[in-house]
Amino acid sequence: MRFLLKLLLGLVFSVCALADPYLGLPPLPIPADNPQTSEKIALGRLLFNDNRFSSDGTVSCASCHHPDKTFIDGLPVAKGLNGQTGTRNAPTVVNAAFYETLFLDGRAKSLEDQALGPFVNPIEHGLENHQAIVDVVQKDTNYPQQFKKVFAIKASEITIDHVVKAIASYERTLISGGSPFDRHLFGRNHVMLSESAERGLGIFKRKGNCVTCHEISWNNALFTDNRFYNIGVSFKQLTPILDDLIAYVDQGKNPDGFPLTALQRSELGRFNVTKNLSDIGKFKTPTLRNIALTAPYMHDGSMKTLEEVVEHYDKGGDKNRFIDTKIFPLHLTQQEKADLLEFMRALTSP
Ligand code: HEC
Ligand code: HEC
Under a CB-based contact definition with an 8 Å cutoff, are residues 191 and 181 in contact?
no
Under a CB-based contact definition with an 8 Å cutoff, are residues 308 and 298 in contact?
no
Give whichever of 187-191, 236-240, 344-348 has the largest mean pLDDT: 344-348
pLDDT tens string 252-296: 999 999 999 999 999 999 999 999 999 999 999 999 999 999 999
Give the whole-angstrom CA distance, residue 183 versus residue 258. Answer: 50
Under a CB-based contact definition with an 8 Å cutoff, are residues 118 and 91 in contact?
no
The protein residue whose alpha carbon is closest to atom 43 in ligand 1 is 64
Overall residue count recorded for the chain in this entry: 350
pLDDT tens string 190-237: 788 999 999 999 999 999 999 999 999 999 999 999 999 999 998 989
pLDDT tens string 152-195: 999 999 999 999 999 999 999 999 999 999 999 999 877 889 99
pLDDT tens string 115-144: 999 999 988 999 999 999 999 999 999 999
**Does the beta carbon of 270 sit less than 6 angstroms from any atom of ligand 2?**
no
pLDDT of residue 80: 84
Under a CB-based contact definition with an 8 Å cutoff, are residues 155 and 146 in contact?
no
When comparing pLDDT for 57 and 112, which is higher? 112
pLDDT of residue 14: 43
How distant is the alpha carbon of residue 54 from its chain centre?
22
**Does the beta carbon of 285 sit less than 6 angstroms from any atom of ligand 2?**
yes
Instruction: Quote the Cα angle for 118-120-122, to 5°.
Output: 90
Probe residue for ligand 2, chosen from 309, 340, 348 as the CB with the greatest number of ligand atoms within 8 Å:
309
**Does the beta carbon of 124 sit less than 6 angstroms from any atom of ligand 1?**
yes
Probe residue for ligand 2, chosen from 89, 226, 231 as the CB with the greatest number of ligand atoms within 8 Å:
231
Give the whole-angstrom CA distance, residue 253 versus residue 125. Answer: 32
Instruction: List Cβ neighbours of 305 (8 Å cut-off, separation of 6 or more).
Output: 295, 297
Probe residue for ligand 2, chosen from 71, 181, 229, 294 as the CB with the greatest number of ligand atoms within 8 Å:
229
Average pLDDT, the chain: 93
Under a CB-based contact definition with an 8 Å cutoff, are residues 98 and 287 in contact?
yes
Instruction: Quote the Cα angle for 271-272-273, to 5°.
Output: 90
pLDDT of residue 81: 87
pLDDT of residue 188: 84
Instruction: List Cβ neighbours of 186 (8 Å cut-off, separation of 6 or more).
Output: 23, 24, 219, 220, 221
Instruction: List Cβ neighbours of 135 (8 Å cut-off, separation of 6 or more).
Output: none
